[in-house]
Chain A
């Protein structure tokens, strides 16, 4: 077996850069920044991290689609490159909104763990072998558990971290069991080789067990109903940037990985999705998620819980996109994931700034935001309307692309088409609770004694950039779609 290590090192440049930056941040924090106060340490660590992330994105773009690396362990196709850049962009967004909040006790470690999670996501985007898939998934998940429980001084954060950890650990066990059955059935760990063996041997009853295990595992990780129970508590208790990271970059990498597992890439032909039984189960998960997420969100009075249920509903629509991408390619799904990630991370960013000033999470605490901070109110409007799928914003085009991809093969002649119709109906339900947020923020007068909100410069810049991207991707969707 001949391995081209120079090619491998070149392909791994972005990941290595992030790890080096993480080590450098710790060294900086231990030496130069030792005597500084918390917010200065957080700002310096975030700045170094953000620079490294931006440079890594440039490297990932410059390297481009390199094809198979390490005898097919990694596959850097177009989707992988796009996902890497998307993950890095969302990481940048999360780092940007995280600054200015001096409540974190270990700022350097926080940035380091964000970078580690980003490396996990990037590996998930390109992994082609079950071992690497699992390792990347666990690197990302373990980092996210720590991030969810990072604000040790608040019991809610510890609760979020513990719940996320317990559910995630369970999901990992299911996933690993499913992977081990797949390995036992096919005798290979490579995904393409696996699909070749399976096409030759046909359906085996054990494959159904493996399929259910893997779907349960991914269902937990993606917070799809009925495996969504951890999500509201985790989103509510975790520090806002961590929740934004869980809701955005983790979704992007996770769904790309799942799509790859089901459908493979264009050059490889179909993978597990071609074997019977997968699609109907994913179909059920998608429908249940949209139903549960949208209906439960109607009853929420806490904005973070509301966003969590909205995330569950979006997970349903994304699963529909996963089914559809078997025919249409991953373009619509990727567009939806990216724009949803930007919008939801941006909304969490707005709430993070507000919480730093008042420490409140209730819907009614948003009252009078248009007076207290027009900038935040404007950004929030863009993000929420994009989540709701209102036209010129990118959320609309994401939904449009996914639903069109689901409807185009057979119209209403297939169950997928009917699921798309159901998703459209559920989007109308979603519009109601999204507008509830906006009603509080834009219409209701401020409570007596409410003061103006001071937005930290870095957070303001990040939020405006995210809102701008939401608008631009909505008006020029080909900017993202032309990659596919």
Chain B
């Protein structure tokens, strides 16, 4: 009897689910039988790499980074298309250069737009 070609997947799934469950179960049993329940101020404190925590952990921070990530994408795409263009540059006609310039101008428009709308101001 030959196994189904995907039988190994079932085994993999079993291990993937079983291993974390087993580990959690062991931790639970350890907690149940060996660990005394003694909560305290120090134990319940916020953990900051061993340094004594300062201030509240529930603070507001500026979720502004995504705009920079989006703007980075502009240049990312630009480089993606510029590299193959640069490699084949010597063999290309003048029209290709003009097309590439138009493409770069369009991408630059995205940057100009973001700049003009004040998305680059960090305040």
**Chain A interface residues (CB < 8 Å from chain B):** 23, 26-27, 30, 34, 106
Contact = CB atoms under 8 A, between A and B. Distances in A.
Contacts of B117: 106
B89 interface: no
Contacts of B116: 30, 34
Interface string B89-123: 00000000000000000100100110011000000
A27 B117 CA distance: 13
A185 B105 CA distance: 44
10 contacts: A23-B106, A26-B109, A26-B113, A27-B109, A30-B109, A30-B112, A30-B113, A30-B116, A34-B116, A106-B117
Nearest to B112: A30
A318 B71 CA distance: 42
Given A23-B106, A27-B109, A34-B116, 8 more contacts: A23-B109, A26-B109, A26-B113, A30-B109, A30-B112, A30-B113, A30-B116, A106-B117
A34 B117 CA distance: 11
A34 B112 CA distance: 13
A242 B83 CA distance: 40
A23 B108 CA distance: 11
Contacts of B106: 23
Contacts of B109: 23, 26-27, 30
Interface in B60-82: none
A30 B117 CA distance: 9
Contacts of B112: 30
Those 5 A-B pairs whose CB atoms lie nearest each other, nearest first: A30-B116, A26-B113, A23-B106, A30-B112, A26-B109
Contacts, number: 11
Contacts of A26: 109, 113
A444 B112 CA distance: 53
B111 to A, nearest CB: 11
B102 to A, nearest CB: 10
B77 to A, nearest CB: 15
Nearest to B110: A26
Contacts of A27: 109
Contacts of A30: 109, 112-113, 116
B83 to A, nearest CB: 22
Nearest to A112: B113
Nearest to B116: A30
A325 to B, nearest CB: 39
A315 B106 CA distance: 40
A34 B113 CA distance: 12
A26 B109 CA distance: 8
A228 to B, nearest CB: 31
A404 to B, nearest CB: 49
A90 B113 CA distance: 28
Interface core residue of A23, A34, A106 (most chain B CB under 10 Å): A23
Interface string B25-36: 000000000000
B9 to A, nearest CB: 13
A202 B21 CA distance: 40
A26 B112 CA distance: 10
B114 to A, nearest CB: 11
A23 B109 CA distance: 8
Nearest to A34: B116
A26 B116 CA distance: 11
A278 to B, nearest CB: 27
Contacts of A34: 116
Interface string B1-26: 00000000000000000000000000
Nearest to A106: B117
A136 B72 CA distance: 24
Contacts of B113: 26, 30
A27 B106 CA distance: 10
A185 B65 CA distance: 41
Contacts of A106: 117
A36 to B, nearest CB: 14
A86 to B, nearest CB: 29
A30 B106 CA distance: 13
B121 to A, nearest CB: 16
Contacts of A23: 106, 109
Nearest to A19: B106
A106 B118 CA distance: 13
A365 to B, nearest CB: 35
A30 B114 CA distance: 10
A298 to B, nearest CB: 43
A30 B118 CA distance: 12
A142 to B, nearest CB: 13
Nearest to B106: A23
A21 to B, nearest CB: 13
Interface in B29-60: none
A48 B68 CA distance: 30
A106 B119 CA distance: 14
B108 to A, nearest CB: 11
B17 to A, nearest CB: 20
B105 to A, nearest CB: 10
A357 B48 CA distance: 55
A27 B102 CA distance: 14
Taking each of B106, B112, B113, which has the highest tally of chain A beta carbons within 10 Å of its own beta carbon? B113
A398 B116 CA distance: 48
Nearest to A26: B113
A30 B116 CA distance: 7
